[in-house]
């Protein structure tokens, strides 16, 4: 490592030589002095005077050493060389001229206190006499030398302690000394931040000046890109985790890279971004370790970590404000999943924030360990095609010239509106444009990615063959050659995935592809640019990981069809496994998934069974059910796949909006024991009713959680979920309700008294829009046996209407969160009475629309009557689409005067405006 920190202003940092010198002079020397004081036999006599009683003891001392003794220099200020001389004469060890000191004859003497002290003295002398050599030592040599000094100090303390009956003192001294050695090996947290930024700057080769901002929504409302970190790290709020969810190709990875580029290049496009000391980005598919330190040392900041004490890394980075950007949860290796859980679990403070990008159905592998109030969800819907078109007309790095872009724009705006929305996905739009540029035919009949790739492939082969026909005898000959080369490209896509090269085409493979062109006598530049995307300087990569998986699946499907049996395909699997073992199975899963899409109509029951066996080797338990549902979708809900997957899918199901139909079809072949249904979109016409009926009619008991997040995202709408709850709570239903989130009418609230809910339900999150509903809910919940968590979102207008008896509290021994969404100043007194009737202790109380005077009155009336772990203000800025959560602490509030609270309330508003 050749990092010089002098120019960066890190004055505390030491070169390798300085660190080694400090190790000798600042750590080893005090320990030699400690040994001297333990063993010194001169009593109260100063050592200089006592030394004179030994004839010849000063004969080998130089003038400066003699002066130090004459001037009675304190022994703690002496360095090792002088202390060693004193120990030889004054501490009752072997005679000073004995060979045991400098030239032990016996093996046992080499492990002696005397010789160990001599070796330390020699190391001190080397600093002066061999300094040029030591200044050239490597990191490994430095570590080795410091470890050796540490071992010598460890030994002399143990030996000296045993000699004078101070073994316990020696043990404590060794602990303290070890701590100092660890410090000597490391740098400070501030230095890590500076070194980290410098290292990232050196590695950053991206140019994202023309990045097109994506379409983002938060709680179904438009969110500006500049506000994304206001959501993920709101001031005074305990929400350091944000999930960025979107379909494949919607721009998640590009947004992650853009944020990383902004921070690394110190751009001010997003103001809050530069508040972070470090930004650490990693892709889940590339993670091969569960250890955070190993991730930092091997992958993220290897150069920086070489400067750090490995024992202190976690402690140091805990003190830094860090933004972790974690890309591709759906591609997470088993190690990545465990690593993410570790990172989130250790995030006890608000110094670290997390942005996790994922396809929607795969976030549950993480969120199931989190409470709802601990994270936010931001959805990326792609980009506005108009912005893409404008960018393409201005940029020189595009596969279409500006004239063709304008022609395509005219064509695009004539498409069906639903297709236009579908093509907000940048990947789909790019593939469709490539297809259109080759054929000028309608590329939108089926806009799923595999179908678009298939259409593009056919058009590219035809277009390329036509270009080459001028030099070939016939068009058929040209087509045959292009297909031969394309098949070779697909084979190499598979081989690259086996070697963990995703997107990247390494030089060796690129040379092979060019050589193949030479063999076929077709120009390589034309072939490469037709099917791949240029990265400059004659290099190419795949358009997207899904394109590489599709090409690889084409090759695997051809092998499958040619083999007409399991043997060759299992051989394919073996080939894949050889490259880079277990971590690679995820890539094979993606390839198999595309294979299913390609082969679905041509497979019999035996072949499906063989394919499922391959899938079993690639699917990790953390995301098992979403992946099996994905296979079912790709197989177009084919009976053979449903039946075979029913035999292997786990009994614990997580069902998102995407997978309602897959779960409904699969339940005919396999019923789960536990089903969590979490719907972010409007449940009307989603097919969820059919699924719930199927669960209710199951042969044996099924534990069910039904969370209709839509009812909390769209707060002011009065959509109700009575019908859905009634299906699974009916007396004839086999379902046991373990958790429910949604909005019930007054009649719907009556359903909660049924045994299927009251006996088992642990979590209730309800939107309360009428006084009668609240009274009914309170009455029924009082009878719940297992209830542990209650969250109520009040949207009622009159807080004085609910008739609730306060004789017994339904919410005792329960975590209760109250969201007073509709509370206004005129209803404060009524709301306080209502809260008192509900209970005396709450987890949190959140207000939304109160003014300063209303909030002050609210707090005054609640003080000393109700306890809450947190009193929170939720500030919604409709113009900026910004939400701020301000936590004023527990109730009763710990302010000396209520005026101080009123001042803090005003300051929270000012902070929001300034931000």
Pick from 243-247, 392-396, 404-408: least confident: 392-396
Q: How far apart are CA 219 and CA 373, in angstroms?
A: 13
pLDDT at 252 over 50: yes
Closest by CA to 672, choosing from 707, 606, 628, is 628
Q: Which two tokens stand for residue 78?
A: 């002496």
pLDDT at 186 over 90: no
Pick from 290-294, 370-374, 489-493, 829-833: least confident: 370-374
pLDDT at 577 over 60: no
Q: Could you tell me the fold of the domain covering 189-383?
A: Rossmann fold (3.40.50)
The residue ranges of every structural domain in the chain are: 6-184, 189-383, 671-796, 816-825+841-915
Non-local (6+) Cβ contacts of 95 within 8 A are none
Write down the pLDDT at residue 439: 66
Write down the pLDDT at residue 576: 52
3-state DSSP assignment of residue 793: strand
pLDDT at 2 over 50: no
Write down the pLDDT at residue 579: 41
Closest by CA to 243, choosing from 341, 339, 350, 380, is 380
3-state DSSP assignment of residue 592: helix
Q: How far apart are CA 362 and CA 331, in angstroms?
A: 9
pLDDT digits (tens, 9 = 90+) for 732-761: 888 999 999 999 988 888 888 888 888 888
- pLDDT band with cut points at 50, 70 and 90 for residue 694: very high
In this structure, how many other beta carbons lie within 10 angstroms of the beta carbon of residue 11? 9
Nearest-10 Cα torsion for 847, 849, 855, 859: -20
Q: How far apart are CA 820 and CA 146, in angstroms?
A: 61
Percent of the chain with pLDDT strictly greater than 70: 88
Closest by CA to 234, choosing from 246, 218, 250, is 218
Q: How far apart are CA 857 and CA 610, in angstroms?
A: 69
- pLDDT band with cut points at 50, 70 and 90 for residue 625: very high
Asked whether the beta carbons of 503 and 548 are under 8 A apart, the reply is yes
pLDDT at 165 over 70: yes
Q: Which two tokens stand for residue 484?
A: 């031969």
- pLDDT band with cut points at 50, 70 and 90 for residue 647: very high
pLDDT digits (tens, 9 = 90+) for 852-867: 899 999 988 988 888 9
Is the Cα torsion angle 70, 73, 76, 82 positive or negative in sign? Answer: negative
Distance of CA 201 to the CA centre of its chain: 22
Q: How does DSSP classify residue 180? A: H
Average confidence (pLDDT) over 210-221: 84
Write down the pLDDT at residue 709: 85
Q: Which residue has the higher pLDDT, 429 or 236?
A: 429
Q: How far apart are CA 759 and CA 782, in angstroms?
A: 12
pLDDT at 529 over 60: yes
Write down the pLDDT at residue 210: 77
pLDDT digits (tens, 9 = 90+) for 55-99: 888 888 888 988 999 999 999 999 999 999 999 999 999 998 899
pLDDT digits (tens, 9 = 90+) for 314-354: 878 888 999 999 999 888 888 888 899 888 877 655 688 89
Cis omega (within 30 of 0) on the bond before 528? no
Mean pLDDT score of the chain, rounded to an integer?
A: 84
């Amino acid at each position: 490592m050749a990092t010089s920190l002098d120019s960066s202003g890190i004055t505390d940092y030491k070169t390798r030589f300085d660190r080694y010198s400090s190790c000798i002079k600042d750590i080893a020397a005090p320990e030699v002095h400690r040994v001297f004081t333990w063993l010194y036999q001169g009593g109260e006599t100063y050592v200089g005077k006592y030394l004179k009683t030994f004839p010849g003891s000063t004969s080998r001392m130089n003038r400066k050493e003699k002066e130090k003794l004459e001037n009675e220099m304190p022994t703690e200020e002496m360095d090792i060389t002088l202390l060693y001389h004193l120990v030889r004469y004054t501490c009752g060890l072997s005679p000073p001229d004995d060979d045991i000191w400098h030239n032990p004859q016996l093996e046992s003497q080499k492990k002696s206190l005397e010789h160990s002290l001599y070796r330390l003295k020699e190391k001190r002398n080397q600093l002066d006499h061999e300094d040029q050599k030591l200044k050239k030592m490597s990191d490994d040599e430095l570590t080795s030398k410091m470890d050796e000094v540490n071992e010598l100090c460890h030994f002399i303390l143990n030996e000296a302690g045993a000699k004078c009956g101070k073994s316990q003192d020696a043990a404590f001294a060794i602990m303290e000394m070890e701590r100092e050695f660890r410090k000597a090996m490391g740098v400070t947290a501030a230095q890590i931040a500076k070194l980290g930024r410098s290292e990232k700057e050196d590695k950053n080769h991206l140019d994202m000046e023309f990045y097109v901002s994506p379409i983002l929504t938060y709680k179904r409302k438009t969110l500006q890109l500049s506000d994304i970190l206001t959501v993920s790290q709101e001031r005074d709020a305990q929400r350091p985790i944000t999930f960025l969810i979107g379909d494949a190709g919607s721009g998640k990875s590009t947004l992650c890279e853009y944020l990383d580029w902004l921070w690394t290049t110190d751009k001010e496009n997003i103001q809050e971004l530069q508040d972070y000391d470090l930004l650490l980005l990693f892709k889940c598919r590339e993670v091969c370790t569960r250890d955070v330190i190993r991730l930092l040392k091997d992958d993220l900041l290897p150069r920086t970590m070489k400067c750090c004490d490995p024992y202190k890394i976690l402690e140091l980075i805990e003190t830094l404000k860090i933004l972790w950007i974690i890309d591709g949860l759906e591609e997470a290796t088993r190690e990545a999943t465990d690593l993410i859980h570790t990172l989130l679990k250790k995030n006890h403070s608000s110094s670290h924030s997390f942005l996790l990008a994922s396809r929607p159905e795969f976030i549950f592998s993480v969120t199931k360990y989190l409470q709802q109030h601990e994270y936010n969800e931001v959805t990326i819907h792609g980009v506005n095609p108009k912005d893409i078109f404008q960018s393409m007309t201005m940029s020189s790095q595009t596969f279409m010239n500006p004239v063709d872009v304008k022609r395509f724009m005219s064509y695009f705006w004539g498409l069906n509106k639903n297709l236009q929305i579908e093509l907000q996905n940048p990947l789909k739009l790019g593939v469709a444009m490539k297809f259109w540029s080759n054929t000028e035919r309608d590329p939108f009949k089926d806009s799923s990615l595999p179908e678009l790739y298939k259409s593009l492939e056919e058009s590219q082969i035809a277009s390329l063959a036509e270009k080459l026909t001028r030099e070939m005898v016939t068009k058929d000959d040209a087509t045959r050659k292009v297909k031969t080369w394309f098949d070779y490209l697909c084979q190499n896509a598979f081989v690259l995935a086996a070697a963990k090269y995703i997107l990247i085409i390494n030089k060796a493979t690129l040379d092979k592809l060019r050589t193949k062109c030479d063999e076929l006598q077709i120009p390589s530049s034309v072939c490469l640019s037709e099917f791949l995307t240029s990265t400059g300087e004659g290099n190419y990569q795949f358009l997207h990981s899904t394109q590489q998986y599709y090409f690889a699946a084409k090759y695997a499907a051809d092998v499958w069809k040619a083999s007409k049996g399991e043997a060759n395909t299992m051989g394919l699997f073996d080939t894949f496994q050889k490259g880079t073992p277990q971590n690679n199975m995820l890539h094979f899963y993606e390839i198999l998934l595309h294979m299913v899409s390609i082969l679905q109509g041509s497979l019999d029951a035996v072949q499906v069974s063989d394919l499922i066996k391959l899938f079993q080797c690639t699917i990790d338990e953390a995301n098992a059910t979403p992946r099996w549902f994905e296979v079912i979708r790709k197989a177009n809900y084919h009976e053979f796949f449903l039946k075979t997957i029913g035999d292997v899918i786990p009994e614990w199901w997580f069902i998102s909006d995407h997978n309602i139909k897959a779960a409904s079809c699969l339940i005919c072949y396999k019923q789960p024991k536990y089903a969590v249904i979490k719907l972010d979109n409007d449940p009307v016409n989603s097919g969820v009713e059919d699924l719930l009926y199927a669960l209710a009619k199951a042969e044996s008991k099924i534990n069910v959680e039904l969370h209709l997040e839509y009812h909390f995202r769209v707060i002011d709408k009065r959509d109700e979920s009575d019908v859905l709850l009634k299906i699974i709570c009916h007396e004839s239903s086999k379902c046991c309700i373990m958790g429910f989130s949604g909005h019930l009418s007054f009649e719907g609230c009556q359903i909660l008294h049924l045994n299927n809910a009251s006996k088992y339900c642990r979590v209730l999150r309800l939107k309360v829009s009428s006084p009668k509903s609240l009274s009914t809910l309170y009455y029924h919940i009082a009878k719940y046996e297992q209830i542990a968590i209650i969250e109520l979102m009040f949207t009622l207008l009159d807080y004085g209407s609910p008739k609730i008896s306060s004789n017994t509290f339904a919410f005792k021994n329960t975590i209760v969160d109250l969201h007073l969404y509709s509370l206004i100043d005129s209803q404060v007194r009524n709301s306080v009475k209502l809260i008192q009737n509900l209970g005396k202790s709450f987890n949190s109380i959140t207000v939304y629309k109160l003014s300063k005077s209303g909030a002050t009155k609210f707090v005054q009336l609640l003080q000393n009557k109700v306890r809450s772990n947190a009193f929170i203000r939720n500030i919604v800025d409709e113009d900026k689409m910004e939400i701020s959560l301000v936590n004023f602490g527990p109730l009763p509030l710990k302010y000396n005067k209520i005026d101080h609270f009123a001042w803090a309330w005003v300051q929270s508003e000012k902070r929001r405006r300034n931000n």
